[in-house]
Structure 1
Amino acid sequence: MSQQHLTEAEYDAITDAAAQWCMRLHAADCTAAERQAFEQWRDAHPLHAFEYEAMQEIWEVADHLPRPPTATVLPLPAPALAPRRSWRAYGMAAAISALALPLAAYSGWSLGWLPSSYEHFQADGSMRQVTLADGSQVELNLGTELTYSNYKDQRRVSLKKGEAFFKVSHDSAHPFVVKAASGEVRVTGTQFNVWMYEDQVRVILLEGSVLVNSDNSRPDGGFRLDPGMQARYRRGDYQPQISQTYANDSSLAWRQGKLVLDNLALGEALPLINRYLSKPVMLADSATGNIRVGGIYDITAVKSLVTTLPKVLPVYLTRNQDGNPVINSLPGTAPKS
Structure 2
Amino acid sequence: MTQDTLSEAEYDAITDAAAHWCMRVHAADCTAEEQRAFQQWHDTHPLHAFEYQAMLEIWDVAGDLPRPEPASVKPVAKSSRPWRQFAIAAGVCALALPLAAYSGWNLGWLPDSYQHFAATDEIRQVTLSDGSQLELNLNTDLTFSNYKDERRVTLKQGEAFFTVSHDVSHPFVVRAGEGEIRVTGTRFNVWMYQDQVRVNLVEGSVLVTSNRSLPGDGLRLGPSMQARYQQGDYMPQINQTYASDTSLTWRDGKLVLGNLALSEALPLINRYLNKPLELADTRTGAIRVGGIYNIKALNNLPDSLPKVLPVYLTRNKQGNPVINSMPQQPPKS
The TM-score bracket by the shorter chain reads: 0.7 to 0.9
SS of equivalent to 2:249: helix
Query: What is the CA–CA distance in structure 2 between the aligned matches of 1:208 and 1:126, rounded to whole Å?
Result: 28
Question: What letter corresponds to residue 295 of structure 1 in structure 2?
Answer: G
Question: What letter corresponds to residue 23 of structure 1 in structure 2?
Answer: H
Query: What is the CA–CA distance in structure 1 between the aligned matches of 2:283 and 2:172, rounded to whole Å?
Result: 42
Query: What is the CA–CA distance in structure 2 between the aligned matches of 1:266 and 1:199, rounded to whole Å?
Result: 18
- Residues 277, 320 of structure 2: 8 Å contact kept: yes
Query: What is the CA–CA distance in structure 1 between the aligned matches of 2:142 and 2:81, rounded to whole Å?
Result: 36
Does residue 1:67 correspond to 2:67, yes or no?
yes
Unaligned runs of 5+ in 1: 1-10, 28-45, 77-90
Aligned positions of 1:106-185 closer than 5 A: 107-185=103-181
SS of equivalent to 1:287: helix
Query: What is the CA–CA distance in structure 2 between the aligned matches of 1:116 and 1:285, rounded to whole Å?
Result: 50
- In structure 2, do the counterparts of structure 1 residues 283 and 222 end up closer, same or farther at CA, with 3 Å as the change threshold? same
After superposition, the C-alpha distances for 1:252-272 in whole angstroms (9 at most, x for unaligned) are 000000011110000000000
Question: Residue 248 of structure 1 corresponds to which residue in structure 2?
Answer: 244
How far apart are residue 66 of structure 1 and its match? Answer: 4.4
Query: What is the CA–CA distance in structure 2 between the aligned matches of 1:219 and 1:140, rounded to whole Å?
Result: 31
How far apart are residue 184 of structure 1 and its match? Answer: 0.2
- Residues 64, 114 of structure 1: 8 Å contact kept: no
After superposition, the C-alpha distances for 1:237-291 in whole angstroms (9 at most, x for unaligned) are 0000000012201110000000111100000000000001121110000110000
Query: What is the CA–CA distance in structure 2 between the aligned matches of 1:47 and 1:266, rounded to whole Å?
Result: 47
Question: What letter corresponds to residue 26 of structure 2 in structure 1?
Answer: M
Percent of aligned pairs with the same residue? 66
SS of equivalent to 1:259: strand
Query: What is the CA–CA distance in structure 1 between the aligned matches of 2:278 and 2:55, rounded to whole Å?
Result: 34
How many residues align? The count is: 288
- Residues 22, 52 of structure 1: 8 Å contact kept: no
Query: What is the CA–CA distance in structure 1 between the aligned matches of 2:230 and 2:90, rounded to whole Å?
Result: 37
Aligned positions of 1:44-123 closer than 5 A: 53-70=53-70, 74=80, 95-96=91-92, 107-123=103-119
- Residues 143, 154 of structure 2: 8 Å contact kept: yes
The two structures have a TM-score, normalised by structure 2, of 0.77
- In structure 2, do the counterparts of structure 1 residues 49 and 209 end up closer, same or farther at CA, with 3 Å as the change threshold? farther
Query: What is the CA–CA distance in structure 2 between the aligned matches of 1:286 and 1:313, rounded to whole Å?
Result: 16
- Residues 90, 104 of structure 2: 8 Å contact kept: no
Residue number among 227, 230, 236 corresponding to 1:234 in the alignment: 230
Residue number among 22, 26, 36 corresponding to 1:23 in the alignment: 26
SS of equivalent to 1:251: coil
How far apart are residue 189 of structure 1 and its match? Answer: 0.5
Unaligned runs of 5+ in 2: 1-13, 29-45
Residue number among 212, 219, 223 corresponding to 1:216 in the alignment: 212
Aligned Cα RMSD in Å? 3.4
SS of equivalent to 2:174: strand
